[in-house]
Amino acid sequence: MSRADELLAAAAAAPGFMPADEGRALHDAALAVEVPGPLLEIGSWMGKSALYLAAAAVRTGRTVVTVDHHRGSEEHQPGWEYHQPELVDPATGLLDTLPSFRRTVHPAEDVVVAVVARSEVLAQVWTTPLALLFLDGSHTEESARRDQEAWVGKLSVGGTLAIHDVFPDPADGGQAPFGVHQRVLASGEFTELPGTGSLRLLRRLR
């Protein structure tokens, strides 16, 4: 088994919310992108999607950059549906997924650079054109729009934009990522590629 295949197997077994077919589609999109530059994801949780990207990175000689404050999104906080009490740091009383993330991505530490920050803070100092941008951060309308405005312009022409949890029907899920998808398409700067499940892929044209 190649190292990339080992990372794919680790990704499939890792905790997280990304279905296996969507994870493989993200990996394949990262593998297929032709322009130079790193792969950057916004929203890492415990590192599952980072491993799918890392498997592509070891095959193509790229670097994966993950951006997450590791305090969880709204739905992960106490009293919400996806809260996991075992992830609360007793010293601070706050959710902290960074230790779990580090355990997950340990096999890929040579290709994954973890930035612990709010995405809009890092965006202010980020200048490297991206080959792939994966948007999977907080899904409130405000935060999804903020990630879009801060990062989509940093994607190279010919690069791939991946957006997770895009649900056209509100009965299936929140609408903030769908709104990002619709605004990006309406800009005329992107063309849509075949997606998988709730994962949408777009290629930047100009």
CB of 26 within 8 A of CB of 7? no
Q: How do residues 26-41 score in pLDDT, each as one tens digit?
A: 999 999 999 999 999 9
Q: Is 139 a catalytic residue?
A: yes
The predicted model scores a pTM of: 0.92
Q: How do residues 111-139 score in pLDDT, each as one tens digit?
A: 999 999 999 999 999 999 999 999 999 88
User: Rounded to an integer, what distance in angstroms lies between the CA atom of residue 187 and that of residue 64?
Assistant: 27
| DSSP three-state, residue 18 | coil
CB of 49 within 8 A of CB of 39? no
Q: Give the pLDDT score at 73.
A: 66
What is the share, in percent, of the chain residues with pLDDT greater than 70? 91
Mean pLDDT of 49-58: 98
Q: Is the pLDDT assigned to residue 17 strictly greater than 90?
A: no
What strand order describes the sheet that includes 155-163?
112-116, 64-68, 39-42, 130-135, 155-163, 199-204, 190-196
From first CA to last CA, the distance across the chain in angstroms is 39
Q: Give the pLDDT score at 52.
A: 98
User: Rounded to an integer, what distance in angstroms lies between the CA atom of residue 89 and that of residue 52?
Assistant: 27
Q: How do residues 145-183 score in pLDDT, each as one tens digit?
A: 999 999 999 999 999 999 999 999 999 988 999 999 999
Tell me the pLDDT band of 75, cut-offs 50, 70 and 90. Answer: low
Q: Which helix (DSSP H) or strand (DSSP E) does residue 13 occupy?
A: helix 3-13
| DSSP three-state, residue 87 | helix
Task: Point out the catalytic residue in the list 27, 139, 164, 181.
Answer: 139
* Domain regions of the chain by residue span: 3-204
CB of 38 within 8 A of CB of 70? no
Which superfamily does 3-204 belong to? Vaccinia Virus protein VP39 (3.40.50.150)
Computed over every residue of the chain, the mean pLDDT equals 92
What is the share, in percent, of the chain residues with pLDDT greater than 90? 79
Q: Is the pLDDT assigned to residue 95 strictly greater than 90?
A: no
Q: How do residues 187-205 score in pLDDT, each as one tens digit?
A: 999 999 999 999 999 999 9
